[in-house]
Structure 1
């Protein structure tokens, strides 16, 4: 095996650097160059320009693509993947996967690896980590209210979680009880994602930011006006008792707190309104369709998916490789479990149960997300009406999708 391979990433990733070094040690005739847009030097964060933003990274990458100088492997986080796929930037990896016998359900969480598969059966990026969001509820408030989640639920949409959390707030006598730590604007962002595919049809470039969006905005604003969120600066986190009915957390931390006796309960993966549980796209890789080193690129991606890499101490998420997953779960639990209140087996089993719920890949365009946050936040700040926010969003997203 020989040749030079280039990798593009917005942020420097220690595990990626170590993996490249290990791969080059195995194959001395291979040279891997990782081009990180933002990296660290000592205690300083440095980048290739003074503006460290996702937009400037995308602009730089777009220039490389247009001039035929883009890297062989591209980490796809922070990118509007659908636009890149539509113009043929990424190689279809489905055939390579099917021709790699060691990548199978005995060794890998295939539901995660195949989550990005589109309606035509093509896979343009592969998640390296099984990362996802989890919703959980305050155990004290659940006990106070006597309310129960319906039997057999293994995942929950944000809308259903919000309804249940409101019942918890309404059925307790405890003071300083609120829906969640975040503001109404942040809560709305989660709620919007429940219906993202109804609002924005990325594949067909259609947008429907209308009455449903306006109603959702007003509903969250009503909750804010009726005291379901703590006023800014009103909570003394060190000297007063307070409660948040529900929480959206990342997988490994949520699992630990759910298994403690007096913290959260009814923890389960967050789904959209249709029951889809999305794998986080931030650590996914694709192969540049114009790469002259596709075979070498695939060999390195296979190495990134291996137990050796996915068991590295710097590999900070749950692996898609099952042995790497076990090693990650054990290592991460040690960071939380100083008093050994949670067993390794129950922690690992809960995480595996949750990972098996993943059935979709989050291709939500970061540019569209920025539009939504900007216009919705103006509504919550009183700078524009819900109708104005809807009208502006409709125009912005429509123009962007059709550029």
Structure 2
């Protein structure tokens, strides 16, 4: 069977669609831009506004359920950009219970321009005191606003709320997102930054991915390069194709705080550590560690685009790559914090100037509840342990005639069928091991990431030295941080 690129990770509207779950869509009553509530609340009612780049089915479902439970509260989802279009990527077949054929969909990444526009708009609203009650902090330097006392201390809200049981959550995720000892943005769901590795080729390698650095990876990778037919071109590459901008961004985000302290407004790019990191990144291309353009993409040891965005990714992707012998590995890092890295597409902050802080916290808490974290519409990795168990247990029903549906479930990839079997206890244990190790926030600031990606291009093209590039980045990031 032809392998599926990890870049084609099955997310949101892919296996969710296959399993007859609710399709990704926004409720037509969602407002776009600064238009306010769709209807005037009755006297005595509260309207809680949530700012988000793009709404999704999970938020719409939560709004619907919460308003039914709290008739005196309305949730207004303030959407700044329309949902990105999805594209067909194949077919999923379910044989039994009328499952029928459905198209598998690939969710596109949010447009960076929309993210930047959102961050600029919400930042201005926060500074002017006109921000929504709840804010998705994706793309925002939330530390900056926390320092200005514009965001509520969520750690205090958690500790003072007897109904909130922090032990019910993967606290390593919360701890990783603290700033100055407190949580100002709480992730409702996360995605995991991991590589998919060919375990058949890695079985002889002694790899401790719990604490390896990028230099460790380069050393290991050099020993994996093979030219069995002596044609001067490797038959096996340690890493799949990745563009220099993506590689340096991945290296930066794995150790972001080492090079940029947003809260302290201090850049640390004009340093030996960053300069050496750039040289290390370029050496991976020079030394043929990374797949060349004209090489077979199947002959790689690690796929660098192994973001785990859903439980179905975590379960199915290792089985769909490397002849079913794939396994997940933590990314290398330069920071002292070790563990599985994560990001969040739905980190929420509460506006400290809001007149509805109590009600805002109640809605955030509902999004973190067992009920909502167990919902199929979550389309992410749950931060609630009960929710995670429900999501994983669902994988055990695939093709059994249970909730997963049908006698047999198949994915159609490039015209060929791959049968999806129910998850075994061994599969479940492997997933739970990963989840219990999630503890490193792959922090990033969109503006800083863009500066680094753009300014390092001349270095990879051989036009500037690493030292010259580091100075330019240092100056630009410092200017940005002082704004």
In structure 2, distance between residues paired with 1:108 and 1:198: 27
For 1:3, the equivalent position in structure 2 comes to 46
Is the CA contact (8 Å cut-off) linking 2:218 and 2:284 kept in structure 1?
Answer: no
Aligned counterpart in structure 2 of residue 310 of structure 1, from 366, 370, 373 = 373
In structure 2, distance between residues paired with 1:42 and 1:361: 28
Total equivalences in the alignment = 389
TM-align CA RMSD:
3.2
For 2:299, the equivalent position in structure 1 comes to 242
Q: Cα distance, 1:147 vs. partner? A: 2.2
Seen in structure 2, the aligned counterparts of structure 1 residues 268 and 40 have a Cα distance that, compared at 3 Å, is: closer
For 2:353, the equivalent position in structure 1 comes to 290
For 2:456, the equivalent position in structure 1 comes to 376
Aligned counterpart in structure 1 of residue 60 of structure 2, from 5, 10, 17 = 17
Aligned counterpart in structure 2 of residue 299 of structure 1, from 351, 357, 362 = 362
Is the CA contact (8 Å cut-off) linking 1:281 and 1:363 kept in structure 2?
Answer: no
In structure 2, distance between residues paired with 1:245 and 1:108: 31
Q: Cα distance, 1:293 vs. partner? A: 0.3
Seen in structure 2, the aligned counterparts of structure 1 residues 186 and 167 have a Cα distance that, compared at 3 Å, is: farther
For 1:149, the equivalent position in structure 2 comes to 207
Find out whether 1:34 has 2:77 as its counterpart.
yes
Is the CA contact (8 Å cut-off) linking 2:168 and 2:384 kept in structure 1?
Answer: yes
For 2:256, the equivalent position in structure 1 comes to 196
In structure 1, distance between residues paired with 2:285 and 2:112: 35
Seen in structure 2, the aligned counterparts of structure 1 residues 341 and 90 have a Cα distance that, compared at 3 Å, is: same
Show structure 1 runs of 5+ residues with no match.
45-49
Which secondary structure does the structure 1 equivalent of 2:183 belong to? coil
Q: Cα distance, 1:194 vs. partner? A: 4.3
Find out whether 1:205 has 2:265 as its counterpart.
yes
For 1:215, the equivalent position in structure 2 comes to 276
Seen in structure 2, the aligned counterparts of structure 1 residues 10 and 84 have a Cα distance that, compared at 3 Å, is: same
Q: What does residue range 256-295 of structure 1 map to in structure 2 within 5 Å?
A: 256-258=316-318, 262-264=323-325, 267-270=328-331, 272-273=333-334, 274-277=336-339, 278-295=341-358
For 2:469, the equivalent position in structure 1 comes to 389
Q: Cα distance, 1:86 vs. partner? A: 1.7
Aligned counterpart in structure 2 of residue 127 of structure 1, from 162, 180, 187 = 187
In structure 2, distance between residues paired with 1:354 and 1:155: 15
Aligned counterpart in structure 2 of residue 66 of structure 1, from 127, 136, 146 = 127
| Higher percent of residues as helix | 1
Cα offsets for 1:31-77 (capped at 9, x unmatched): 11101111249989xxxxx9942221122112322332210000111
Seen in structure 2, the aligned counterparts of structure 1 residues 257 and 166 have a Cα distance that, compared at 3 Å, is: farther
TM-score (norm 2): 0.72
Seen in structure 2, the aligned counterparts of structure 1 residues 54 and 41 have a Cα distance that, compared at 3 Å, is: closer
Show structure 2 runs of 5+ residues with no match.
1-43, 88-110, 399-403, 411-418
